[in-house]
Structure 1
């Protein structure tokens, strides 16, 4: 029997170009418009503009589109400073000044949170911000080799596409990492099979730049050495059949960064989560300590603790800190970091916080304060259990305003009050705004 398959027809307007008048922007600074009774979310468009846009998705209640030509620009629109901006998807908002980007992101976030929670106003504090160039100490570059044309592309994906946009410079990368854009592509192209390399994961620790070379076929020692000659701190991931992460040299220095204000050093392994923006991370930790006013009587629970970024700084001042993390190897790294920093009052355990919490010893402790720093999916499943702890204060660090609003509504429903809220400009020139929020349980009379 032969089964014939027909390609799915594109839904409605998908692939069409439309002319739109932009009425406002949302929390990710997408332009908002209406077309044929549907709301349209339009990337690259500003309030008051008229644009031609390519429809990327046509759903029952909305359209997603991308600006392809600005017919009537807003006064605040400016020329992007990066020559790769029109192709590279790494940045989205270079057509605005950094201050205007922050203002629009916070305005949209304010509307989103108030709409979701029912709060009439939000207790905004000053924005946590830093330099808007050369702030990334970590980046993942895609690698694509076209066997027909023998063209190699190393860079970030284009907006809304799987295509790798080749770049030769990036104003967002740390100066320690930018040489990779010119030094490593020739090494890849010199391999017998350049297509075996799929990604380059760059990161810096202190004054050292590292690279993780991801590959789908085994690289010989000689081929690995080609990379290490251009980039001494090199790791290799993805050897056929075992997926081992290994340094080129056994004496490769262990990566580590410092929280200078708290005199904390944190070692980590390639693949461990660390905040991309080192300067903003330091400000986050310092502000968390200030908002919580941690003292020697406090017992603190740090959820999604990672390698101890918040836990160990908290332990400098608290009676005890219990960190919980879902990834077992990061739990071990956090424990190692506590030992390296001489902090015997910080302990760590592994648990999937989105599932019903286990009857573990750490859950029997009474906590005065809770810190949580979940991934973009937020703390769904965990936030209900956090609320039942009845800690006096909860500090929530969020990288997604939509999931934060959902979780904040749960805490408010359990009697917590939103005491402070700050935007965190972790990724200038992108649509992302992170948040730090302090919730407090009113004292009983």
Structure 2
């Protein structure tokens, strides 16, 4: 790996989650001294890990990042392949929708905690990486790298300094909060009116209760439920629907009636007692979509992952997109003679449009999963896409394939889809014109 033209830096990474852990490894491999600061306790020793526990869908972009640090094979081996979606209708009937019938590619369901632990373990082996847990960022002066943390064990403020501050501290990033105050920094956030609540389909007699190699979906037009398989033969279930629908369920009878009406087959899978316990033990969580431009402040600060581009989870690209941030930044920093300042500028300028595009795609996929998969037009389009992809595998790449099974820039994925849509429209116009012409010919023959 090529070295940078500048002396090695002291880098402070805020956040020891998935993206922060991966970023620390990449920076350390470049020879920099890396300090990771995390406000939570070490998840590897914590009895109860707070935060999101929704399963992750590992796809090509994430696999590429893990392969670069030698973890891909181990992670994939400890994940479950999901070769497609399986929809559940109101009568309990199921329908298989393969992601990639031509090549058999799929997504890998992997536990968030498991993957985070593996990344932290690998980071800990690098002598250039130093970990600091239960350190909450209080203030950050991005121009000079001064940082103040609250030590949550002692309740004492700790002052630190770094040449580069890397914000990997999630959708509610404190590093980004400092960037927002600066002129020229564009920022938008959008909360959707739908929330999510996590449930569980447990194993039965030590086995899965549903076919394991699928992402299961119960599409109900304005809301939905999904389930991803776990290695312990359970399924992590996510119920997504408008907050007003959640609020309409106040009693145990309300909940059981709601599931009997909308998810009758799921009630038996989850179990009534567990359903009641899991539903009422917590409140539905908000989902936010965040877009930024730019991602850096000179050579002093940069944001990655959800701190730069939080997205709703319905395309399974949040982690993959964050990992791709690390891959692209590492590639830029590896260029011979490049400075940190130029590398961060190049990363920011080349990345923000793609990440913003993925935020939009994630919003679209929620509509597809909860509603469009129930429509005949969706299956007709998918079958045509599959046929054309089989005929022209390098030319006609369906949108889902390009997003999940390639490293194609997200904006290019959308451009390809628009190009395909235009061809569809032209074909439809030609077919309609031929039908009308045939009708006119037949009518003329009849009248004469």
Q: Give TM-score scaled by structure 2 length.
A: 0.23
Higher helix share goes to which structure?
2
Higher strand fraction: Structure 1 or Structure 2? 1
TM-score, length basis structure 1: 0.24
